[in-house]
Structures are given as structure tokens and as C-alpha cells.
Structure 1
Amino acid sequence: MSYKKRIESVDILRGFTIMAMILVNTPGDWSYVYGPLLHTEWHGLTPTDLIFPFFLFIVGISIYFAYKNKPNNNSTYKKVAIRSLKLIGLGLFLNAFLPYFPFIQDFETMRFPGVLQRIGIVFFISSVLYLNCNWKGLLGLSIFILLGYWLFLGFMPFPNPNGITSTFERAPNNWANYLDLSMLGKHMWQPDYDPEGVVSTIPAIVTCVSGILIGKLLDGLTEIKWLFLVALTLLVSGYSFNTYFPINKAIWSSSFVLVTSGWGTLILAIIYYLKDIKRFEFGTVFKYVGMNAITIYFLSSLVTKTMYLIKIEADSNIHSWVYNAVFVHDFFGLKFSSLLYGLIVVVFYVLLGYVMYKRKIIIKV
């Protein structure tokens, strides 16, 4: 966000989101994790399911303030495209990277989608839309995508000889899963679906666009009640839509978009009221991470992957050795030990963010 007077609540929410993302991605032992720190198996919503849509929501807010005074010309599009390609490239690097020879994974089975890839694609499309549409156009397009996605997944006839109808379940006749498998084949997270797949990226764009619209609302906001009213509208409409199109992160359902954007708006409104209006002093620790959010997320993912892949013994790697040697004790429950490991990892990256912040090191991706 490159405007003179930064909205501190946005920086705080961004930093909190990245810290939460690191926490849920780095437990000591995946077999022992508290329920709220896991994604729901299919339909439903846990606190962990809020993290990625929150980040896309914040990307949308940042797009609004970064490009609101930028000209709609080739130079601006070039900058948008370069940043998008950087994000996609970093994501592909994470998927391909091996900390030993041959240093890259077998291309035949390497996963193509990922968190950074989705951020890059969504950032590019959302930025182009913002540069070419007013807020009414963005709102209308968002409604069209959410309703169209529901109608397509739920009612579009499915191509099969046995009369099997389309479904929202994790099944071969789910359109999102079916099309992703057709396009990506072995390059998916799971054999039958990918949570950052091609089809579900389309409604994810609406999550980002919702952030753009909230950014416009924040710009010159005079009464905080409007933020709370928008949050309430999104939450009520999302939970109501859940009856017809279940809340589901894996396929990024339309109800999931509405509910997560509603929660994002509500939490932002609370932070905005306390920090930007009442000027309460809190949340500085989150700003340290938020100023270099992508860099810190990338480094945490790279280090974690390296620790898992470098073997110490046949059945042990650096991660498991450190975890078992330092964090597993008789007086700790295994879930608590696993959580404690994740919290220590978060503290490490907060300290890294603090050092970068104090030295005025801001790496723009």
C-alpha cells in the first residue's frame, strides 16, 4: 500500500493473517493438531479456513490504494504483470525445490497450483478489472460469478453415460474436481482435487474484488457503521446461501466467498475502530510481519520444506529430530507440544520481521 497515510488496521490484519498462516502450516506433528488449526475435511468452516481468503481480501484492499491514482496504460499493466509473474514463479519454485541433487522435483508429477500461484493469478485479474471497471461494475461482475459458479457446479448436466448428476461433494462428478483433473492430471495436490485448482480460482477472484470494494469504502470513511453493516450483509447472505451451496474451501464455494469476506470485513472493522479511530496502541508486532508478508511467507515455506526433506536417518528428518528432541516431553500433551513448536516458529519469523522493519528492509514482490 503506497499511499501517504497508511491505514494501520490493514497492516495489522495482514501481519496477523501471515502469522496465522505460518502457525497452521508448521505444527510439530500433523498427527496431533487441535481441531481449529486444521482445515475442514470438505464442507464447513474452521478458523484455519479463513486464513487464505483473508489474505486475498487484503490483497484486494492493497490493489485499491496502490492503483487508485495510477494511469490505465501499458506501464501500469506491465508492473501488474511482472508482480504477478514473480508470485507465480516463487510458488512454482517452492513446489519444484529439492534441497539436494537434482534440486528440482520430477516434472511429470510436480504440483502446479499453490498458494502463491493463486495469489499471483488473482492479483493480476483483479488489478486489470479494477483498472477497467467502476465499483458498480465490480459488484455486478462479482454477483454474476458467484451465482454462475453455483448454477454451473450444481445444475450443469454432467457428461457421463450413466445419468450421474453433478454434485458439490468430493466426487468424480463434481465439475470443479473433474475439470481440474482433466487440465492438471498428475500435477495436483491430491489425486482427485486441488484446493488451489484452476476452476476454484474463478470465485477466489471475487474474494479479492471484495477487498477492492472494501478499500474504496475505507478511503474517506466517515462512519464506522458502514463497515459493520457490510460485514453483517455478507455474513447473513453467505450463511443463508450455505443451504443451497455449502460453505467449502476446497472448491471455494460462493457461500464460502461471502462468509469469509464477511468475517474479514468484520474483523477489519473492529481493528479499524480500535486502532485508526480510537488510537489504541496495540498490534505493532503484527505490522512487523505485515510489511514483508510475502517474503516471510515464502521463507517460512522454503525452510519448512527443507527441514522435512533433509534426512538424518531413514525414518527421521531435521524437522522431526528437532521436534522430538526439544518439544516432546512427558509433562506436555502431544497436541500441546505440536502447537508449541508452531508458536516458536511464528516467534522466529516475527523477530525476522522486526529486524527487517527496524532496518527499513522492505522487499516488494
Structure 2
Amino acid sequence: MTSVPATAVACVYEGVGKDIKIDEKHPVTQPQDLKAGEVLVKLEYSGVCHSDLHLWKGDFPFPLPFPLIGGHEGAGRIVAIGEGTDTSLKVGQPVGVKWVESTCMDVGCGFCSGGMDQHCLKAKMSGCMVDGTFRQYMASSAKYVTPIPENLPLEYAAPVLCAGVTSWGALKRSNTKPGDWVTISGAGGGLGHLAVQYALAIGLRVAAIDTGAEKRKLLESYGVDKFIDFRDYKDASEIIAAVKETCDGLGPHARPLASLTKPLLTEALQFLRPRGTLVAVALASNTKIEAELFGFIGKGLTIVGSYVGSRSDALEALDFVARGKVKPQVVVKPMREIQQVLETLEKGQVDGRLVLKLQD
């Protein structure tokens, strides 16, 4: 059996906006204390999501169980399995822990049995309802951890467990087919750059909205059909006109909302062609999508909410990366720099996805 320390390092949110505590001696669940159905994971990397920032800042409309370990994009290896656990998982196997840490998995639950387990009414969220992945060891549900392909480096797997599965899940629910147009705002960001790659991998045409020479270079290297620098236009109406012109003069078939830039959110539905789909993905408090009914009904538009992804979505999202069809752009930082990392994220000074290295 792999040796497991009694304590290890964890990053603890002690309250809204308070300095994050680096607990050097956080208790580690011991193998003999695991419940049936649990595995102990030695986490090596954890992605850092805007949701982690929002939770720390108190932007979500519900109270949090402080003190709380943040994080929900953890990747590591199983070091112990609870006695009596019915699983094909093995000690040493790489696995991931997602935003949805566990669900009821009851055959009588229409969500869990119907492939939409992320909507289970008994779901528990990592780094939100239960302690998350900004730590070195974590006990989690054997049925809900996600097997990671052996050939996939864990620093690249980590961001797929939220940003990747969220992007992929949104595209699956976008009512598109190969050859259709999608418009992705914030296309060079942590969520957007993955959404672009998944879209291209399944044959969609992409009009990418972002700004700057570096973002243009990155997105054009993926093969986007059009890069639209929003700073080249005076307002949202000019951007909409440029998008429509690019997309056959009609606008895109779908628009995943991976970024909540206010001017583009206000005009979100105006991008779309008739019968188009707006996929709401990114979260923020006190944010609304408004639909002018004559245009909404007359164009036959659809608004879809896409909440992270299911267990099968996560496996599919990882498979694209393992096969080299999608490559996360990651910036790896030591876990003890978590507060500086979140502050950098708040300032929007990140290209791609920030990932914490959890082991010394």
C-alpha cells in the first residue's frame, strides 16, 4: 500500500474576500478511514477557474460553508480504495475530480440514469458545498471520479475537468452540425480557447472574438475561420455586423456564451441567424439575458442553459485531448501562490488556463 501522510498542504478560504490560508498540516483521510465507495486521490495539479474567484469574492447568491478548501479541477492518482468498494478503479490509476464531486447515482434518478447527472438534485460541488481540490490529498466518490488516459499529462488533464467539459458540453447542446458557424467571445481565454478547439475538431466553423496580437496568433494557429478584434469596432452593433458578414451574411448558427463581456451580453441574441441557438455557459451573479419578443419569436431562436457536463461528457472531453485534437494552454504556478493567482485572474491577465502544482 502507498504510504499516506497524516497531514498535507491545503489552501483554505476562511471567508469572503479574506486572505487565503495555506494550511501546512491539514488532516489527510487515512486509507483505513475511507468509506465503502470512496477512493483517496493524491492530487498533483488543479486548474483555477473563474468560479473559484467568484466564490472567494462572494459573488454567488448563496452562503458558503467556510472555512472551505477551494478548487474543482483536480488531477492525480489513486493511492487507496475504501474497503468494500465495488469498482474497476486501481491504485495508481490517474483520475480527476470535477466541479460536480458526487451525485446520488440512483437508478431511480432520471438525471443520473439519463446521462444528465450534473443536474442531480443531490449533487455536491467541489470547492463550494464540500472541500475541493486545492490540496494534496482528497477522498472522493469512486463512482464519480473521472478516469484519465495514461498518456495524458496531468497538468493538461486538470483544466479539462471543468473548462474542457463545460466547453464540450455546451457545443453538444448547441443544435449544430459540421459546417455550421459558431461565434465564441473571449476566444483566447481559459474557457474560450478550449471551446474553439472542440468546435473545430467536430467540423464547425468558428468566428472568434477577442483582442490583441497574441490572441490573434494563438487562435489563427488553431485554424479559426475569422478572428474579430473587438477593439477595432466602436460598439457592439459594429461587432454584430462584422460577425454576420463573416457568417454568410446571416450570423452564426450558435453562440456559446463562454465570456460575459457586458456589451456583448446585452446584444447576445442579435448575433444569431434565424433558428439559431444561444448557449448560456459562463456564470455571474445578477446577470440577465433579455429577449425582445418580436425578434426572438420571429427568428425562432433558442436559449439553452448548459451546466458543466455529465460523466460521459468528461470522458469525451479528455479523449479529444489525449488524441491531440485539443491542447489546453496552461500556466503552471505553485499552490502556495493561490491568492496571487486569483488576483491575476481577476485582472484578466491570463492567456489560457492557470493550473496549480500541488506537490512539492
Please classify the TM superposition score into its range, dividing by the shorter chain length. Answer: under 0.3
Name the TM-score, length of structure 2 as normaliser: 0.27
Select the structure that is richer in helix: 1
Greater relative CO, 1 or 2 (CA 8 Å, sep 6+): 1
